[in-house]
Structure 1
Amino acid sequence: MSSDTDVSLSSYDEDQGSKLIRKAREAPFVPIGTAGFAAIVAYGLYKWKSRGDTKMSVHLIHMRVAAQGFVVGAMTLGMGYSK
């Protein structure tokens, strides 16, 4: 009698680092989008003090639009890459 309910536990045995690497290989544009988002946020925080006479709300809106644009672009490239 064969057991159809046997489940391979090899995916449960991997640690967080190898799981992250495996997921990044499956969808390479996810870490690229995340890194780009973090870079734009870091740049926005760095330029916050030297924004000149620009209002804070305008500066934050520009940074939000840039970060969202980068993530949407990475998602679009990822969709094109996967097909």
Structure 2
Amino acid sequence: MPTGTDVSLSSYDEDQGSKLIRKAREAPFVPIAMARFTAIVAYGLYKLKSRGNTKMSVHLIHMRVAAQHFVVGAMTLDMGYSMYKEFWAKPKP
């Protein structure tokens, strides 16, 4: 006889790879934002050697703002996509 305290452990049984794939299907723009963030940080570190007369702190602030811009933009697109799927693209019964 099942009780009210039964807990489904299926979400605890999945490994990191399958969890990442499942989350990417639910929110497709978040992995794009993560990839862009990584690319911007890598590009900023590459350009660190040839920054010229710019101070290190200013260079790092510009790099952080650019990375945050892409992440917030991707999150906004993802929210709009989720709203579209939930409210406008629902199949009519």
| TM-score strictly above 0.5 | yes
Aligned equivalents of 1:28, 1:11: Cα separation in 2: 20
Question: Does structure 1 residue 20 correspond to structure 2 residue 37?
Answer: no
The alignment yields a C-alpha RMSD, in angstroms, of: 1.5
2:35 matched residue in structure 1: 35
- Name the amino acid aligned to 2:50: S
Cα displacement (A) at 1:4 = 5.0
Structure 1: give runs of 5+ residues left out of the alignment: none
2:45 matched residue in structure 1: 45
- Name the amino acid aligned to 1:47: K
2:2 matched residue in structure 1: 3
- Name the amino acid aligned to 2:25: R
Aligned equivalents of 2:61, 2:11: Cα separation in 1: 42
Identical positions, percent:
84
Cα displacement (A) at 1:12 = 2.9
Structure 2: give runs of 5+ residues left out of the alignment: 84-93
- Mean Cα deviation higher: 53-62 or 37-46: 53-62
Aligned equivalents of 1:14, 1:52: Cα separation in 2: 48
TM (norm. structure 1) is: 0.84
Aligned equivalents of 1:55, 1:15: Cα separation in 2: 43
